[in-house]
Structure formats: C-alpha cells, structure tokens
Amino acid sequence: MSKATLNTDTVHRVGFLDKASLHIPILRILQADGTTYETAVLPVIDEALATKIYDTCVFTRVLDERMLGAQRQGRISFYMTCTGEEAAIVGSVAALDQEDVILAQYREHAALRYRGFTTEQFMNQMFSNEKDLGKGRQMPIHYGSAALHYQTISSPLATQIPQATGVGYSLKMQGKRNVAVCYFGEGAASEGDFHAGLNMAAVLKCPVIFFCRNNGYAISTPTEEQFAGNGIASRGVGYGMHTIRVDGNDMLAVLAATQQARAYAIEHNAPVLIEAMTYRLGAHSSSDDPSGYRSKDEEAKWQQHDPVKRFKLWLINKGWLAEADDVKLHEQYREEVLAAVKVAEKIPVPMLDEIIEDVYDKPTPALKKQLSELKEHIKKYPQSYPKSAGRL
C-alpha cells in the first residue's frame, strides 16, 4: 500500500461484520399530517420556492395522468410516470443551481419541468414531431435540453453514472462552482457502471451528487431480489463517500439533504450519495401491469404516504396554499396539457433528411448515398411510407 487508507486496529479472535454493523438512519422532517418533527432542522425554503416546488409536482401528476391516458388511446407509443416519487425528484432539483448538470435515468421529468421545460417541449418529444429537440429519434420520455443543463436520457441503465463522474471532473477542471447530479433507481445500482462511477468519483475527487431513487421495484423485481446488503447507502460508505438515507416521500427531508450535499460536494470536490426511500406508485411503464407481481393492499398502504399530499398539507399549514387555489391549479394544467396534446400531434414528423444527420458531425458520403437510394425507393412506393412520402 502506498498510503495507509485502511485502519490498523487488530483483534486476535475471528469476528465478522454484518450489515447491521452499519447503522444508517433515515432523515425525516415532515410528518404525515403536514407538521414537522419537533427537533427537525428545516431546509432553506421560502414561499416562492415552496410554491414552485408544489406547482412542479402538480404539473407532473397531471402530465403523467393525461399522457398515460394518451398512450392507452394509442396517441403516443410509450409512457412512464413519476407518480409517488415527485418529492424525491422535485425536492432534490430544488436544491440545485440552474447550471448544475443533471444526468437522469428516465423517471425524473419533474426535474426538467422544474428547470423550465415547457409543456410544448414535453409534447414535441413524446409525439416525435419536427419541433422535438431530439428530432424524433428516441422513444417518448427520453428528454434532454442543453439550455437547461439536462443531458439527454438514454435507455441503457446506469450508463449515466460514470458519465456523471466525468461531468463532475470537467466542472472541477473548468473552475465552476457547480455539481453533476446523477439520478438512478435501485435496480440500476446493480449494474457494473454504478460501481465504476461511484468508485471513480471518490478516487478522482469529483463534485457529483449520486441520487438513488429506491422505490422498491425494478419492473417486477422487488429489492430483496436486487440486493442483500443494507440498501444502496451502505455501499457509499464502502467507497469512502459521504452518504445519507432520506425519506423520499418527504419533500423537506430531500430538500435539506440535497442542499447540504451540494454545499459539501463543491466545498470539498467530493461526491455524495443520497438514497431516497420511496415507492413506485404507478406501473413501471405503459408496457407493464404490476398486478402480476404486487398486491393492491401494498399499493393502498403506500397511497397513504403520497409525497405530494404530505407537502400540500404543510403548505396549507403554513398558509401558503388554499384548497380552492389547488383545485384551480389542477384544472389549469389539465386544460394546458390537453391543448398541448392537440397541437403537438398535428405537427409533422421531422424531414426524412434528418435520418442521416448527427450520426457524425457531418453526413459521410456513404450515408448520403444511402439516403438518396432510400428516397428513390420511397418515391416508388409512397403509399407504404406515409410519414415521409409527402415531404421528400
């Protein structure tokens, strides 16, 4: 060993450590009735921030409800909801600077909304129309926005974790007082990229917040089939990383933990792991039916812990929200989303030429040849290619 990184205590009888050796408490600030624990230390929050957080939660609920419906009607091909995990996402993003770089998994669109992604932008992506920033190339909910420092989602799980380490390193090298923030589920944490990314971040001293949504399931797989250790948090300690476990359905706990994690990461150029304990109230995706692997009773129990309702009670207690205004807010977003669906689904798909753009910085001669052959073919059989035949 070049440097002593291990302690040197010795014993003279065999004794094993087990997962109970590591006591990991769960941070809770907000109680079910909307009051805070007596000894709780509250995050930095004022009425404007609280209102923006709640507004984002309501929008996300409405969007999820409406777009799942749109998927059921066959208007979009695929959808995934954030339901039950809004506090984990919005509570954490609200602790960030707008220029902190977000790398997400796929169930974090509430964070993108918080940053300013418009209803139209959500729709354009889901309908793969020509106004989509991603040019209609990826499945619905694979959002991204350079302007909002939210890197484009990709389907392969956990690949964004070591990437976040690289982004964190780049922020440090560029002398920016910003962090990379990486969201992932507890299932993704079983991928090799989780290990690679966290270990590298700790060793290379990168300002990154690793934010794990431990929602109990990876599609149908419950956590007891995912890991045998003390959740995800115990691993952070193993990597030599500042680590905290929070109640992911407690907006104030998530906000407080993330605020302090961010300050620490920047101050020390070091990563922090946050494990937010929550529950995936919805199906995994529009292609999934959870009744095949979990009970209605279990779901009903977790409905009692609805993070948005808990936060709403706190807002009402504070006098920052009135029931009538809440009803109005829901109504307003329902109308807005419905109207945006109607607009987005009428916008044409991107021009066929986009099929060869952005593979490289410039299309290669081979790609140009393939495109021109494709166009000739489509001209011959236009009825078989209705999306592009009319606009060659």
Partner 1 sequence: MAEMNMLQAVNEALSIAMQADERMVVFGEDVGHFGGVFRATSGLQEKFGRSRCFNTPLTEQGIAGFANGLASNGMTAVAEIQFADYIFPAFDQIVNEAAKFRYRSGNEFNVGSLVFRTPYGGGIAGGHYHSQSPEAYFTQTPGLKVVVPRNPEQAKGLLLASIRDKNPVVFFEPKRLYRASVGEVPAGDYEIELGKAEVVREGKDITLVAWGAQMEILEKAADMAAKEGISCEVIDLRTLAPWDVDTIADSVKKTGRLLINHEAPLTGGFAGEIAATIQQECFLYLESPISRVCGLDTPYPLVHEKEYMPDALKTFEAIKASVTF
Binding site for partner 1 (CB under 8 A): 101, 103, 132-135, 137-138, 142, 144-146, 151-152, 154, 156, 159, 161-171, 173-174, 180, 192-193, 195-197, 199-200, 203-204, 357-361, 364-366
Nearer to partner 1, 101 or 189 (CB): 101
The catalytically annotated residue of 72, 177, 268, 293 is: 293
The catalytically annotated residue of 109, 235, 284, 310 is: 284
Q: Which residues of 108-140 are buried (b: 16+ CB within 10 A; e: fewer)?
A: bbbbbbbbebebebbbbbbbbbebbebbbebbb
The rounded distance, in Å, linking the Cα atoms of 127 and 25 is: 43
Known catalytic residue at 330: no
Smallest distance from the beta carbon of 26 to partner 1, in angstroms? Answer: 29
Are 208 and 179 a contacting pair, CB within 8 Å?
yes
Nearer to partner 1, 153 or 253 (CB): 153
The catalytically annotated residue of 107, 280, 305, 310 is: 280
Query: How many CA atoms lie within 13 Å of 113's alpha carbon, on the beta-carbon side?
Result: 28
Smallest distance from the beta carbon of 194 to partner 1, in angstroms? Answer: 10
Smallest distance from the beta carbon of 100 to partner 1, in angstroms? Answer: 12
First-to-final CA distance of the chain: 65
Known catalytic residue at 381: no
The rounded distance, in Å, linking the Cα atoms of 168 and 174 is: 10
The single-letter DSSP state of residue 10 is -
Helix (H) or strand (E) holding 180: strand 180-185
The rounded distance, in Å, linking the Cα atoms of 88 and 25 is: 17
Smallest distance from the beta carbon of 169 to partner 1, in angstroms? Answer: 6
Helix (H) or strand (E) holding 140: none
Are 150 and 143 a contacting pair, CB within 8 Å?
yes
Place of tokens 């997400």: 104
What 3 state SS string does 198-221 have? HHHHHHCCCCEEEEEEECCEECCE
Smallest distance from the beta carbon of 296 to partner 1, in angstroms? Answer: 37
Nearer to partner 1, 132 or 247 (CB): 132
Nearer to partner 1, 165 or 226 (CB): 165
Smallest distance from the beta carbon of 242 to partner 1, in angstroms? Answer: 19
The rounded distance, in Å, linking the Cα atoms of 304 and 90 is: 19
Nearer to partner 1, 6 or 366 (CB): 366
The rounded distance, in Å, linking the Cα atoms of 320 and 309 is: 14
Amino acid making up residue 367: L
Nearer to partner 1, 151 or 249 (CB): 151
Rg of the chain over all Cα atoms, to the nearest angstrom? 23
Known catalytic residue at 150: no
Q: So which residues are the catalytic ones? A: 280, 284, 293
